[in-house]
Amino acid sequence: MIEQYHKSALSNEVVESLNVASGRIFCDATLGDGGHTLAMLRHLPVEGTVVGIDRDAQAIERAQQRLASFGDRFMAIQGNFSDLEKLLKENSIFGVDGVVCDLGVSMLQISDPSRGFMFSARGPLNMRMQADDGLTAADIINEFSEKELADIIWKYGEERQSRRIARAIVRERSKRRINSTEELAEIVRSVVGGRFVIKTLARVFQAIRIYINDELASLERFLPQALNMLNPGGRLAIIEYHSLESRIVKDFIYREVHPCTCPKDFPMCVCGKEPRIRVVHKLIKPSEQELTLNPSSRSARLRVVEKLL
Ligand SMILES: C[S@@+](CC[C@H](N)C(=O)[O-])C[C@H]1O[C@@H](n2cnc3c(N)ncnc32)[C@H](O)[C@@H]1O
């Protein structure tokens, strides 16, 4: 019996802002441990359903166990949300009343040292959300050029010491292959000592994880598809955790709210492009109470938009 599930961030806010009680079918694009799906199923009318998507087979298995009592009101699909339209249509779902997307990694992934996501636990340098899919962290750490490594750490971790860290990685790997999270963490520590080291370690590991899992490009592909799949009046709720995700989501919302491509000095719009969405909530942060109960929700930020009729 599994007892330790991922603590969902902003769960009540997701249920409320998606108007779950008045919908019929919802999509949880990042099923994880099924926490948001569970909250939605509890609020849905009895005939309401949730379809959950995750690229991680272990997550799908755990969520299926956890949500088994809902029978066919819950359906799980393994896949990447960047293929959202295809995944839903293959399962005969052509429109949904709401979509939630809770970005990042789950407790399941982080707390299992064999997945290699954490700098604080010894494990293989893996970091793939979907096992057997693409390069591992060890592949890039041992095989990418110094410049490529520095660029990844800078672009996806926004780490100022990226060049020095990449140089240290290349120096160390010339002596032996770097295989474990602990070895990589040691190299980072040798470059950035003192009180900043934990933040730097978090940024370096985040950068590699984002690169390995192609997280930002997946998000960019997902957003317009989520909008396409929403029924008119349906809502999209996105929980983001860092500035790189935030930039993509904000740019997408801005483009959809201001689609007009007419030159600025035109007295009126002639391109005819109409907004497809309206902003329902610009930014919801966890309450003080949630932060006390679930400190790991501290960087969660929820944005909600509604598809216009
Ligand atoms: C923060 S967790 C979700 C937790 C979940 N909301 C809950 O309450 O239990 C994020 C999940 O999204 C999944 N994920 C991340 N990127 C994905 C993608 N591109 N396609 C499908 N699933 C993805 C991860 O595997 C992880 O299980």
In terms of domains, do 179 and 221 share one?
no
Chain segment 126-146, per-residue pLDDT in tens? 999 998 778 999 999 999 999
Q: Are residues 281 and 224 in the same domain?
A: yes
Contact 8, 39 (CB under 8 A): yes
pLDDT of residue 2: 47
Structure tokens at 137: 């962290």
Classify residue 45: in a domain, yes or no.
yes
Q: Give the distance (Å) from ligand 1 centre to CA of residue 147.
A: 30
Q: What is the pLDDT of residue 194?
A: 83
User: Ligand 1 centre and the CA of 212: distance in Å?
Assistant: 15
Structure tokens at 309: 């009729």
* Domain end position, chosen among 212, 229, 249: 212
Would 5 be classed as within a structural domain? no
| Model pTM score | 0.95
Closest among 39, 12, 5 to 284, alpha carbons compared: 12
Question: Does 57 fall in a domain?
Answer: yes
Please state the three-class secondary structure of 146-214 as a single string: HHHHHHHHHHHHCCCCHHHHHHHHHHHHCCCCCCEHHHHHHHHHHHCCHHHHHHHHHHHHHHHHHHHCC
* Choice from 78, 129, 218 to test ligand 1 binding pocket (greatest atom count within 8 A of CB): 129
| Residue 77 and residue 52 share a domain | yes
Q: Please give the distance, rounded to the nearest whole angstrom, from the Cα atom of residue 56 to the centre of ligand 1.
A: 8
Q: Does 3 fall in a domain?
A: no
- CATH number where 93 lies: 3.40.50.150
Sheet containing strand 96-102, strands side by side? 74-78, 49-54, 25-28, 96-102, 230-240, 301-307, 277-284
Mutate to test the pocket of ligand 1, among 5, 54, 83, 112 (most ligand atoms within 8 A of CB): 54
pLDDT at res. 253 = 98
Pocket of ligand 1 (CB under 6 A): 6, 8, 30, 32-36, 53-56, 59, 80-82, 102, 104-106, 129, 218
**One domain for residues 90 and 179:** no
How far, in Å, from the CA of 33 to the mean position of ligand 1?
8
* Shared-domain flag, residues 96 and 177: no
Indicate whether 97 and 48 sit together in one domain: yes
User: Cα separation of 228 and 93, whole Å?
Assistant: 12
236 and 301 part of one domain: yes
Give yes or no: residues 271 and 229 share one domain: yes
Q: What share of the chain is helix, strand, coil (3-state, %, to 5)?
A: 50, 15, 35
**pLDDT at 23 (0 to 100):** 84
Q: What is the number of structural domains in the chain?
A: 2
Question: Three-class SS string for 78-123?
Answer: ECCHHHHHHHHHHCCCCCEEEEEEECCCCHHHHHCHHHCCCCCCCC
Residue 108's pLDDT is 87
pLDDT given at position 287: 97
Q: Residue 3 has what pLDDT?
A: 58
pLDDT of residue 213: 96
User: Based on the domain organization, do 16 and 139 belong to the same domain?
Assistant: no
Cα(31) to centroid of ligand 1, in Å? 6
The residue from 197, 212, 227 where one domain ends is 212
Task: Please say whether the beta carbons of 179 and 137 come within 8 A.
Answer: no
Asked, for residue 1, whether it belongs to a domain, the answer is no
Domain coverage including residue 145 = 131-212
User: pLDDT averaged over consecutive 10-residue blocks of the chain (309 residues)?
Assistant: 81 97 94 98 94 97 97 97 98 98 93 92 94 90 98 97 98 97 96 90 97 97 98 97 97 96 92 95 96 95 95
